Amino acid sequence: MLGEDWKITKVLSGIAKRLWAGAGAAILITFVFYCFYGALIAFSLFGFAVLAILYNAQDHLLYHPELPSNSRIYVPIPTMHNLPHETISIKTTDKITLHAFWIRQPEERSKFVPTVIYFHGNAGNMGHRLQNVWGIYYNLHCNILMVEYRGYGLSTGSPTEKGLCNDARAAVDYLYTRDDLDNSQIILFGRSLGGAVVIDVVSDYAYHNRIKAMIVENTFTNIPEMALRLLHPYVKYIPTLFYKNQYNSLKKIKSVTMPCLFISGLADTLVPPRMMRQLYNDCESKKKRLIELSGGSHNDTWICAGYYQAIANFLDMCRNEPCQKAPEKVDVWKNVQEV
């Protein structure tokens, strides 16, 4: 019996040793997997968190409505530059209230001249562009609707790519509620970021017959290409889907067929003039012009000699084009308000 007990004990001891060895190996393997994959998972979570933060921070990198300081509080008014105006409040389809200035030519002339909708760049407010608007009003004799994007100046909301493009459509729709202009002569003008907004609207088939022509000045091809230029060469490896704001004007311009004027300051150190040339080359319009002004930088090309004459020549060309039939007014724009 003792011999049998000893054999049983030996067998059980062997089994226990094997189980202990197996358990130890399992623990070791589990520890190694935990260290490797746990770190991998932790790193992945950290990476996704950083990407999420950067994704949501892109709006703050692109839009600067608070520069210079007090730009969200104080908006210079047109009368400071001897421009007659009405202060307008426009409701967008997503219930944002846009602050705008309607600067009209004298009543006997306003129905016979082009009307320019003016979209500014990514900083400040529309009041900071009144000197340029003064030149358009007195040199080109146009009506002008100046629009404050959502989140800028006294407009409500926060800026986003979709939001700004909706704001531009609301501005076009607003003009179709007025009877003191010729709505077959609506011209969209945009500088820098405003140019990307303009290209988005004119590439929209639903708005094609609402707009006579477009003018863009010192605007860019798209945000990923600007990020590549301004940040680091490695930015090119970031997939496009990681860009919250893309403003892919290079793609949209290929569907634009209306008369187009591209104004480029050759001394622009922010948006390279080659981008304007690329937009011009890819535009499908048969009535397009590229004006390159030496000495013009990103924000002051409008002070260059020949600037207003170039626009006047373009408007004369547009005036000789057959007018497109304007769509009838619709009730959906009843929420437009004047204040």
pLDDT per position as a tens digit, 74-125: 999 999 999 999 999 999 999 999 999 999 999 999 999 999 999 999 999 9
Q: Which residue has the tokens 């979570």?
A: 45
| pLDDT at residue 11 is higher than 70 | no
Work out the burial of residue 326: count CB atoms within 10 Å of its CB; fewer than 13 is exposed, 13-18 middle, 19 or more buried.
Answer: middle
Side-chain-side CA neighbours of 66 within 13 Å: the count stands at: 4
Q: Which residues partner with 252 through β-bridges? A: none
pLDDT on residue 242: 81
Has this prediction a pTM greater than 0.85?
Answer: no
Q: How far apart, in Å, are the Cα atoms of 264 and each of 9, 142, 189?
A: 93, 22, 13
Superfamily of segment(s) 78-338: Alpha/Beta hydrolase fold, catalytic domain (3.40.50.1820)
DSSP 192-214: THHHHHHHHHHT-GGGGGG-SEE
User: Which is higher by pLDDT, 63 or 330?
Assistant: 63
Mind telling me the catalytic residues?
A: 192, 268, 298
Q: Which of 173, 199, 176, 174 is nearest to 188 (CA)?
A: 199
pLDDT in tens, 196-244: 999 999 999 999 889 999 999 999 999 999 989 888 787 787 888 888 8
